[in-house]
Structure formats: C-alpha cells, structure tokens
Amino acid sequence: MTTPTVRRSRNQSGQSKEPEKAKSLLLAGRRFAAWAAEITLVVASGLIPFGIGVYANSRSDLNRVPLNPVLIVTQRAIARPLALPVSYGIPNVAWPTNILWTIALLAPVTLSWWQLYLLAKTGSTIPKRWLKVRVVNQQGKPPGLGAVVIREGVGRWTVPISIAYLLWRYSFAFPNLGLFTFLSLLMIVGEGIGLPSRQGRRALHDQLAGTYTIDGLLPRNKQIQSAGGNDQAEEWQEGDEELAAAQTNQSPNLWRRIQQNPNLILFGVGLTSMTAVLATLIGTQVYIQIQQSQRATKQINSQQFLELIKPLSPNSGATNQQRQSAILAIGGLNDPQSIKFLADLLVSETNPSLLDTIQQALTTVGPQAIPELKNKNQFLVSELESVGSAATEERELRQGRLQRNQGTINKILSVYSGKTEGVDLSSTQLGQSGTPGSSFFNLVLDNIDLSGVKLKSANLNQASLKGSRFRGVGEDGRWDTYDDAIADLSQAQLQQANLTDANLSRVLMNRTDLSRATLNKANLSNARLFEAKLNSTQLVGANLQNAVLEKASLTGADLGDANLNEANLYAARLGRVSAIGTQLSFANLTNTDWQGADLSGAYLDRANLSNANLSATRLTGAVLRSAQMENVNLQNADLSFADLRGANVAGADFKGAILAPSKQDPADQFVQTPDLGSVSAVVQGVDFSQAKNLDSKQLAYICTQGGIHPRCP
C-alpha cells in the first residue's frame, strides 16, 4: 500500500512536471547547438585551407608541381565507396595548393581527435564547455577514451551512416550523392533524438557507451538525476536510498553484460572456433579437389596436344584438310601451350589456307590469346627494325609476318567487342604497315567497344576507329562511377587516326600523339590530355567540356563549334587555331598562346585569360564578358564587335588592337557586309585605367562608348 509520503512526492513531482520539461527542452537545444558547433569547427578547419588552395591554384604566376601522393591515395579511397568517377594520373597544382590541401586533410582529423580526447578526459569538448553540457558515465565521472570511441565512432557516426549507405547503395537513386547526404543527415538526427529506455529517452550512442549527457548548469549532486530523464528525477525526490537503488538497478551496458555472463563468452568463443575449424577443413578439401582436377585436365590436354601436332610436322604426310582440322582442335584446347604453338605457327606458316585456319583458331581462343600475340608482335617489330632498308625481300617477308599478327589481333578485338576489358596491348604495333600496292595492313575497329583496353604507348597510326567506345559502364551498370571501364591511351601514337564520333570521355591520353587526327563530334569530356599533341587535328563539334589539356599542343587545330567549357588549357599552345564559335566559358586559359588564331564569335565569358598571348588574333564578335584578362597580350588583335563588359583588363597590352571596325567607302567595297548595328555596349563600364599602350584613337572610342579611363572627360 502506497504511503502518504510517496503520494506527496508524486504530487510534488506532478507540480514540477512543466518546469522539468522546459529544462529538458533547454538542455536538448544546447546539446544540438554544441554538436552543430563541433561539426562546424571540423568542417571549417578543412574548407578554409581547401578554398584558399583553390584560389592559389587559379593563379597563373605560381609554379606547378604534382599533387601530393597522400592526397591522391585519399581521393581514390573516397572515390570507390562513393562511386565517384575514377581519376587517372597525377594532376599538377600550384605549390601552395599542395600544402594547403594537405592541411585541409590533416586539420579536421587532428581537431576531431583533440575533441575526442577532451571529451574523454574532461567530459566536454570546447563547444560543450561553452554551452555547459557534459558527458559522464554512471559514476558521474568523465567517460574515458574507450567509452568515447564507442560513443562517437560507433554509435554517433558508424551505425547511422552505415545504415544510410546501405539504403542508398541498393536504392534506385545510386549514385546520387545528394540522396546519400540527405539519408545520412536523417539517420544522424534520428539517432541523436534517442530511443526510450528505463532511464528515459537517451541517444543510441549514449546507450552503447553507458554514458549520460547532463546539464552543467545544475548542482553537482543533481547532474546524474537530470541525466536519467523526468521519470528518474521523480524517483530521486524520494530519498538517497531509492536513488542508490535506482542507480544500482540500471540496465548494464554491453561491456557489463559481458562481464556478468562469462559463460556466454565461452560459448561464443567455442562456437566461433568450431566454425573456423570446420570452414578450414572444407576449404582445404575443396582446394585439394580443384588442384587435382586442374592437374588431370592439364595432363589430358597435354596428351591431346601431342597427338594433334603430329599431322602438322613437315614429314607427316597429312592432307591439307587434316592439318586444318588439327589446327582447329588445338584452338579448342585453350591452354597456354596450344596458344603459344598457334601464335608461332601463324608466323612460320606460308600456306594461305592454313593461315586463315590458324587465325580462326586463335579467334576462337579469344582475348586469352592476346598476351601471346602481343609478345610475338613486339618480337616481330624488333626483327623488322634490325633489317636494313636494302634487304627488300627479307623486309617484305618479315613485314608479312607482322601483318598476319596484326590482322589476328584486329579480328579478336572485333569479334569480342565489349568483352576485352583489361586486355593489355601496351607498346603493341597496330599502326598502318606495308606499302600500298603490295601487302598492306590498316587497323579497322569502327563502332567497336574497346572499354578498358590498355593501349599505352601503342602504335595506332592511321587506324580507323569511327564511333568506337573507349569507355563503358562497369559492373554496376551506371555511368560516372568508380568501376567504369576506361581505356588507357597515354603516350599512344594516333597520327592521322579517324576517331569521328568516338567516345573518349574520361580516357587517359597524356602525351598522346593525335597530330592530324580526325576527332569531329568526338566525346572527350573530362579526358586527360596533358602535354598531348593535337597539331592540325580536326575537332569540329567535339565535346571537350572539363577536359584537361594542360601544356597540350593544338597548333593549327580546327576547334570550330567545339565545347571547351570549364576545360583546363593552362600553358597550351594554340597558335593559328581555328576556333570560330567555340565555347570556352569558364575555361582556364592562363599562359596560353593563341598567336594568329581565329576566335571569331567564340564564347569566352568568365574565362581566365591571364598572361595569355592573343597577339594578331581575330576576336570579332567574341563574348568576353567578365573574363579575367590581366596582363593579356592583345597586340594587333581584332576586337571589333567583341563584348568586353565586366572584363578585367588590368595590365593588358592593346598596342595596335582594333576596337572598332573601320568604315569603308561604299564605292570601294567589293562585297557588301551586313549592318551589325550599334556596338556601343562592347566596352561600356569596362575599366581601362590600367591597360597598356592605348593610343588616342582607342581612347576616343573607349570614352565615347562608355568605357572608364582617367583621360576620359
């Protein structure tokens, strides 16, 4: 039967219910504010140096160095689980950027561990101390490092983010990072709200670590009371004895349960050991069985191989048909010795009908025959190079052997289109060989899927690769994720190759020679073309958005109507380029050389042209709104009808530049030009006060058309 004292205690607790709720809400608000401040400090410690590094990287007057390997490894480690696009190669950045981005990586990690240390030793981080919030264990003391790691590392972050990741990874929205961010925030907030327990509503991370988040404003003897929630606060009002009993009867955390149930630990260890032993025995037996089966198969194949090569010996007396059957049967064995035999036979055989059969057998083997054919290809190339130009017959003989090898590789790549990912043809000679009129080979792989093929340093000169795909979706079936199958064409020779409509997006082509190649309407978005040679290359209508063309050579190339928005052409050579109507918005064009180029009607709005050489260029009708043109060389450039509004022309050299077209006498004009209307808005509001070498005619035009200069009235 309940005593009156208890009734009075309950009445008193009922009367104080509203103030307790108010205090609880106030504490919840301060807890959230402290958590937000902690996250803000960590994020800001990384974002601030990262942002300064981005700004430093945009400066053209700083030396550029390879990106820190630690940053490269971190980038790739993050890219894989988040399904970010793969990034090949090591980009070059400004030297301060390397230091600042390394700080941006290390500062958040250091600050996070410092906050964890403070939380473990004092019960408060710096923001928690500001807002009078403390974390304690059941004895009211700081929780210690072990409990803090469980609380923050496991409960607060690992569990909710893991749940969010699994929901995102196997949802229809993968690889949308926006949804993953939303799910992560939702799970973190949900976990922080807390789950009902015997001691009140506590967050999961507190329940896992056996900790309490308490109000640092309360007296010390009431802090644990506040941590238990309203129900526990009512019990504390009934006396110290009931308080001690309530604290003793609290549900134990995970570590305490393990300590109180040693038999459960022994049972778990025993079950795990038995499972491991059983799995080891089964795995060993399976491995032994597989090895025995492989040895038996290898022995049978060896016996069959020895029987099948007998009709192919010179003195066997076998008919041509018997030889063909034996060759096809050898191809069906599909083991290393049979592939090597066929690759050697392809070189030594002279019978045309047997040569076709050998090619057919190797094609049946498929991409597994490529490594042996590659080795033979490189051997034949070295043999051919050793033969002098005077030995015509010997040279033609070896040339014919090389062409048979090339033709077989060509056929395998054609037949197994889309199934050649990982095939390595690096340093292989597949370029045009032979002389027209005699035996002649030309690589033809039109509309073929070459995703993931390695062609590094390969010779593909004059190859026909129209509409071919050098990039494909990976196992997840989605574009722009980490497992995309992307070919490697770095340092390859592709002179005069035809790559019209080819998909080369994100393909690595550093130092690749594409001189006089045809890339009209090709997709080169996000491709890496560092120091690539594109002299006299046709790139009409090509998509080069976000491509890296740093220090590339495009002298004499045709970029008409190409899309180079946000592309990086730092220090690229573009002399005599035809870029009529080309889109170069937001592109990095610092230190580029455009001498003698035609940029009529090009879109250069918000592009960075600092220190660029635009002397003798044609910029008629070009859009240069808000472009960075500091110290740009515009000597003898034609800027008539160009839109310079908002451009920064500080230090730009306008010596001999044409700002307005000269009026022609109609009687002397052979071809009537259309009336282009008013050009008064071309330089309106542009500050020319720091521009160089402006003559009186240019100043008069600037002042009358709304430009800004100290000498304007």
- Cα atoms in the Cβ-side hemisphere of radius 13 Å centred on 316: 14
> Does 663 have pLDDT greater than 60?
no
pLDDT digits (tens, 9 = 90+) for 410-446: 999 999 999 999 999 999 999 876 655 456 789 999 9
User: Given this model, what pLDDT does residue 435 score?
Assistant: 56
DSSP state letter for 466: T
Residues across the chain: 713
CA distance 128 to 150: 19
User: Given this model, what pLDDT does residue 256 score?
Assistant: 60
DSSP state letter for 551: T
> Does 39 have pLDDT greater than 80?
yes
How much of the chain exceeds pLDDT 70, in percent? Answer: 83
User: Given this model, what pLDDT does residue 356 score?
Assistant: 93
**Tokens 């019209």 sit at which residue?**
500
Asked if residues 67 and 93 have their Cβ atoms less than 8 Å apart, the reply is yes
User: Comparing C-alpha atoms, which of 246, 242, 240 is closest to residue 227?
Assistant: 246
Longest dimension (CA), the chain: 122
How much of the chain exceeds pLDDT 90, in percent? Answer: 49
> Does 399 have pLDDT greater than 70?
yes
Asked if residues 430 and 450 have their Cβ atoms less than 8 Å apart, the reply is no
Q: Out of 9-18, 121-130, 217-226, pick the least confident.
A: 9-18
User: Comparing C-alpha atoms, which of 529, 530, 531 is closest to residue 499?
Assistant: 529
User: Given this model, what pLDDT does residue 253 score?
Assistant: 54
Instruction: Extract the tokens encoding 558.
Output: 């045709």
Would you state the torsion angle of the CA atoms of residues 130, 133, 138, 141, taken in this order, to the nearest 10 degrees? 10
Q: From residue 109, how far is each of 82, 121, 162, 296, 617 by CA, in Å? A: 20, 19, 20, 55, 50
Per-domain residue ranges for the chain? 19-248, 271-307
175 preceded by a cis bond (ω within 30 of 0): yes
End-to-end CA distance of the chain: 101
> Is 80 or 692 the better-scoring residue by pLDDT?
692
Q: Out of 4-18, 61-75, 182-196, 352-366, pick the least confident.
A: 4-18
Q: From residue 83, how far is each of 80, 86, 174, 187 by CA, in Å? A: 5, 8, 9, 21
CA distance 166 to 516: 49
pLDDT digits (tens, 9 = 90+) for 242-301: 334 434 444 445 556 555 666 666 777 788 888 888 888 888 888 888 888 877 777 777
CA distance 642 to 348: 66
**Tokens 């492989």 sit at which residue?**
294
Instruction: Extract the tokens encoding 5.
Output: 């004292």
> Span 215-244, mean pLDDT?
47
Which residues does residue 618 pair with via DSSP β-bridges, in sequence order?
Answer: 598, 638
User: Given this model, what pLDDT does residue 16 score?
Assistant: 52
User: Given this model, what pLDDT does residue 387 score?
Assistant: 80
Predicted model pTM: 0.77
Please state whether beta strands 92-94 and 133-136 pair in parallel, antiparallel, or not at all (unpaired).
unpaired
Asked if residues 569 and 587 have their Cβ atoms less than 8 Å apart, the reply is yes
> Span 153-174, mean pLDDT?
88
Q: Which helix (H) or strand (E) holds 133?
A: strand 133-136
pLDDT band at 241, cuts 50/70/90?
A: very low
> Span 19-37, mean pLDDT?
76
> Does 237 have pLDDT greater than 80?
no
pLDDT digits (tens, 9 = 90+) for 561-597: 999 999 999 999 999 999 999 999 999 999 999 999 9
User: Given this model, what pLDDT does residue 234 score?
Assistant: 38
Average pLDDT, the chain: 84
> Is 713 or 448 the better-scoring residue by pLDDT?
448
